[in-house]
Structure 1
Amino acid sequence: MRFIFLLLLPLFLCSPVKAQEDLPQDYFSSPLEIPLILSGTFAELRSNHFHSGLDIKTHQKTGLNVLASAEGYVSRIKVSHFGYGKALYIQHPNGYTTVYAHLKKFSPAIQAYIRKVQYAKESYEVEVFPKANELPVKQNELIAYSGNSGGSGGPHLHFEIRDAAASPMNPLDFGFNIQDNSHPLIEGVFVYPQGENSHVNQNNNRQKLRVIPLGNGNYITENFEAYGTLGFGVSTVDRLDFASNKNGVYQIKTSVNGNKLMQIDFKKFSFSESRYINRFIDYAYYKNERNRVQKLFKEDNNPLSIITTYGEKGFVNVQDSLDYNYTIEVKDFKGNTSTIKVPITSKTFPLEEITPKKIDSTAYFAKAGQAIAFDEDGFDIYIPKGALYEDAYLDIQKDGEGIKVHHDSTPLHKNMTIGFDVSNYTVKDREQLYVARMTDWGAAYYVDTYKKNNRFSVSTKTFGKYELRQDNVGPKITPINFREKRWMSSENELIFKIEDELTNIGGYRATINGKFILMEYDYKTDRLVYYFEDDIIKETENKLKLIVLDNVGNSTTFEGTFFRKN
């Protein structure tokens, strides 16, 4: 048996890489009382966004004390079924804001504050902005308990530091010390010929290079013949001590023959630019291979502030009769560096000897810089200006009760609208009609459907097949710890399971003896819970009524009686 001893090191040692002199290095303290081990790093590549903070491990359990990282006041509380779940925002005197998300529960004073709001609005999902004098906190004061609420994939604390403009910043730049003694891992290097005359080994398509590890963070790729303008991409992750998670890196630099080309710094970004991650990565490769390749060149419609270019937008221009040495340098926050050398031999070939890119032309051509609309026998499609990152031929086909709108390996930056003519359906039938997104394997997923007269529509950022479906079945309600006329004096919670197979849970409302009770819904487990500590019940005999709706209006009602001593 092997034991790992984890030493509780000081949390505010300055990074040996680069402590930003204009950022306070000893102002923020750890939000947890345990050593900081991360499952997610800042600006890590996620679906449709960069990760905006640190994900801190909580020993795979919930309920750990969460502490205010510095003095200030609670400036925002948001409770939602999805996203951050239960989240706190603390405004600090120095202008920064810290964020604590996926919480299980708030501290007693904050819990009482938000419960009052929830009961006043008769809603679990609320968002409030307390005034500076309402919920002041001191550094290291208990503010919440760690959890797994919202869109969390497992128990952890999501922690952020935002500047005065609400832009997330890398918390590691503020002096937090995380142990990391490993070089970033290089999983792949790719080359992207630009323009039909460019090639890599006589091929105009993306090419994956064979990467040879040399040890101690050094790599070299196979030598290849090329000509013209080339862009490169790298698939890389970092691993921290005491964790097996594949995390994001801190910096990537590129150069050719010793001349700087590009630098990517994962230190700060704005939420408004985060979705441009889909332009930054090779999106088609990710959708097909589930691996994110970061493009080391800056294309049009990529305004990401994390990227600095020093010439040619990161591209390498390979000319005749010259050899090139392209270098990629990848660093983690602790300064561990991996270096990839890419030797290039220049060689030209006639155009007819170069394998061209395959372009599937269709009747539907869309320009990225223009809005465009299509009509297709009972369907209409509108793609706004700026939704596409580049011009594209779109594959649009009617398919039974649905329509295929291109394929999901092409990213959309803005919502397109798909309209459905439902004039052939009766008014009654339309009540249970909805639009579903169909997967390649035939599964149907409900999409928020806007209904107006004879036209139903959806707004979506995902290409694919969409079709009309019908849902005539109400949600299913299953009691977990409730039985008719049971004494529940020893129970702390009232628990139900609620499910809807087709259109998901759209809403719910519960009362005891006619009074509203607040029930917390976790969509990941389908659990609906009422906590008796809310102290709504005053009688011994209690009549419970629970109504659950799906997203097309089907409802199911559960009624019962239980007893409880107060």
Structure 2
Amino acid sequence: MKYILAFIFFSQFAFSQSPYPQDYFRSPLDVTVVLSGTFAELRSNHFHSGLDIKTQQRTGLNVYGVAEGYVSRIKVSHYGYGKALYITHPNGYVSVYAHLSKFSPRIQKYIKACQYDKESYEVEVFPSPDELPISADEIVAFSGNSGSSGGPHLHFEIRDNEERPINPMLFGLDVKDTKAPFLTAVYAYPKDKTAHVNEIKKRTELRLIPNKNGDYTTEPIEALGDIGFGIVSYDQQDMAYNKNGLSNIQSFYNGNKTFEMDFKRFSFDESKHINRFIDYEVFKEKKSRIQKLFVQSGNTLSMLKDVDANGYITVEDSTNTVYKVRLRDFKGNESWLTIPVKGKPAKEILEAPELKPNTYIIANQFNELDQGNVSVYFPKDTFYEDFHIDFSVLNDTLKLHKNTVPLMKSYTIKFDIKNYVEDDKDKLFIANLYGYYQKPSYISTKRLGDMLSARTKSLGTFTLASDTVSPTIKPVNFQDGKWLSKLTHLKVKIEDDLSGISNYRATINGKWILMEYDYKRDTLTYDFDDNINTETENNLKIIVTDNVGNNTTFESTFFRK
């Protein structure tokens, strides 16, 4: 027994040790750290690259530089991270702060000067080390909800000198967590037609049985051949109800480790392979992320460790074996899953032949599909494996399989529009049809003569759509011809119902002004503190253009002292 205890002690000791500095970085906020998102959590098409720290459902909290350094990058964009700040530290790490409402006064002054110089709200700049030095405990920004944020919070990252994100909790950032991870579903995957689980030769869900001690079991399964398993799981911290990601997953067959996924660090280049790690088909059809505890071709995630036989187990006839899974969060809380396995051949089952489309994709080579006025070009290694693709064209609608197959690269769709009237061609774009009502969604479309082309990274149904309606512009907090001396901001609402907003330009008395675009609220906002308007009588002019070139001009006169 003492040897087992010693093994457990040293295993836990080794797990708790960290090669990362523990007292170097402070928390980026003054409030208690409560997470709405954990590091490497499963997201759409990527792993989450940082921690989402709750800001008490409000914006404007002080955001601190976590250590001394210098601002090495500032990026302001409509989508994604929104307003984001990057600080390089003397120890080589970079801290990242995203979805900010605004920067500290001197950083705000610096970035506004860049925006006015480039006459663009969206900018990305890389200050030199001596331009914006940061001292320890300095307020560098204020929390917000900018970009693609789904609610007020601070997205916080730490990256190494190769721009690889690392779990900030490895540096000592503390989050209270005494809850063990949860398991909600378990699946078995026969590797091929020679294997089965409970007489079934394809993915099958197993009956999950929660135990009183917090662990889980399934009913014994009967199987033969090479079998993989998949789980649906999440973790919760003590002060939040969010379903967050795990820190580590391991599997064992008869006591021998077969698989480990360690969510400590990854590179952005590999993040796309999340769609090979999860069961992509189930995710697209049922919005459930099954994590596959086996490795298929093309899954080169660096977070994989100690994978034996690609994570599959080989079940032999007349055997009684045990498959176990350990789920662990960052604090070391863990849950176990036990699957008893009995080796037994399947009864002979007559299966109807599977009807498959005639078009076949070979993954490791270039593939081109043509029909009517539509052509599709798949570069080499767009897909993880060969498969039969459903490809058909009816009028101006392209059916290109279901969006249940993961892609590694973007591919090109082209539509020949020579049969359209010349005046109509400029209003056409390629759209993806989505949802129950198959609504068109704009895909960035280029025109060369009579050919429209677009690049996308998902399969589905596509069509030619036409947008002939210009955007709308409406004042929100002012009226034409009024005095606005008491206002701190000008705000207008801009909308486009089909192809979407492409760009906008605003001036006062002919001078370009910085208007912040919030796409979630469809608003443009100008801050009078920019002091562009120095006259009593002012002419505001805004031009908004959609993605096919329709534009609307709004003009208004206001007075201000």
The one of 544, 554, 559 aligned to 2:555: 559
* Superposition pairs of residues 499-514 of structure 1, within 5 angstroms: 499-514=495-510
Whether 1:410 and 2:405 are equivalent positions in the alignment is yes
Q: 1:158 to 1:16 in 2, by over 3 A?
A: farther
Deviation for aligned residue 1:485? 1.1
**Aligned residue-pair number:** 549
- Which residue of structure 2 aligns with residue 253 of structure 1? 250
**Alpha-carbon spacing, 1:241–1:16, altered in 2? closer, same or farther (3 Å):** farther
- 1:317 & 1:211 partners in 2: Cα distance? 22
Structure 1, unaligned runs of 5 or more: 1-14
Task: Note if contact 1:17-1:333 (Cα within 8 Å) is conserved in structure 2.
Answer: no
Do the aligned partners of 1:204 and 1:355 also contact (CA within 8 Å) in 2? Answer: no
- SS for the counterpart of 2:195 is strand
- The structure 2 residue matched to 1:550, chosen from 535, 546, 550, is 546
CA RMSD of aligned residues (A): 1.3
State the SS of the aligned residue for 2:305.
strand
1:227 is matched with 224
- Give CA deviations for 1:357-398 in whole Å, capped at 9, x if unaligned: x74421210012111001011100111111111111000111
Match of 1:24 among 14, 21, 26: 21
How many angstroms apart in 2 are the aligned matches of 1:165 and 1:211? 42
Q: Which residue of 2 aligns with 1:516?
A: 512
Q: 1:160 maps to which residue?
A: 157
AA aligned opposite 2:548: V
Q: Note the C-alpha offset of 1:308.
A: 1.3
What secondary structure sits across from 1:113 in the alignment? helix
Alignment of 1:185-334 (within 5 A): 185-334=182-331
Pick the aligned partner of 1:379 from 374, 377, 401.
374
Unmatched tracts of structure 2, length 5 or more: 1-11
Answering whether residue 482 of structure 2 is matched by residue 489 of structure 1, we say: no
Could you tell me which amino acid in structure 1 is paired with residue 217 of structure 2?
I
Change (3 A) 1:215 1:67: same
Work out whether residues 18 and 170 of structure 2, in 8 Å CA contact, stay in contact via their aligned partners in 1: no
Deviations 1:253-273 (A, max 9, x none): 000010110111000000000
Q: Equivalent residue for 2:3? A: none
Give the 3-state SS of the residue equivalent to 1:119 in structure 2.
helix
Distance 2:156 2:501 in 1: 29
Give 1:27-106 correspondences, 5 Å limit. 27-106=24-103
* 1:422 equivalenced with 2:417 (yes/no): yes
- State how far apart, in whole Å, the 2-side matches of 1:436 and 1:184 are: 41
Tell me which of 409, 426, 430 is aligned to 1:431.
426
Asked if 2 retains the 8 angstrom alpha-carbon contact of 1:433 and 1:468, the reply is: yes
Report the TM-score when normalising by structure 1. 0.95
Partner of 1:468: 464
Structure 2 length normalisation: TM-score? 0.96
SS across alignment from 2:194: strand
Paired AA for residue 313 in structure 1 = N
Equivalent residue for 2:365, pick from 348, 362, 370:
370
Secondary structure of 1:23's aligned partner: coil
Give distance in 1, aligned partners of 2:345 and 2:98: 55
Q: Secondary structure at the match of 1:117?
A: helix
Q: Does 1:480 align with 2:513?
A: no
Partner SS, residue 409 of structure 1: coil
Aligned partners of 2:272, 2:233: CA distance in 1, in Å? 20
Question: Residue 117 of structure 1: CA displacement?
Answer: 0.5
* 2:138 aligned with 1:141: yes
Looking at structure 2, the residues matched to 310 and 101 of structure 1 have their Cα atoms a distance apart, in angstroms, of 35
1:396 and 2:391 correspond: yes
Secondary structure of the corresponding residue to residue 282 of structure 2? helix
Q: Is the 8 A contact 2:60 2:144 kept in 1?
A: yes
2: CA distance, partners of 1:20 / 1:154: 35
Q: Which amino acid aligns with 2:381?
A: G
Change (3 A) 1:348 1:502: same
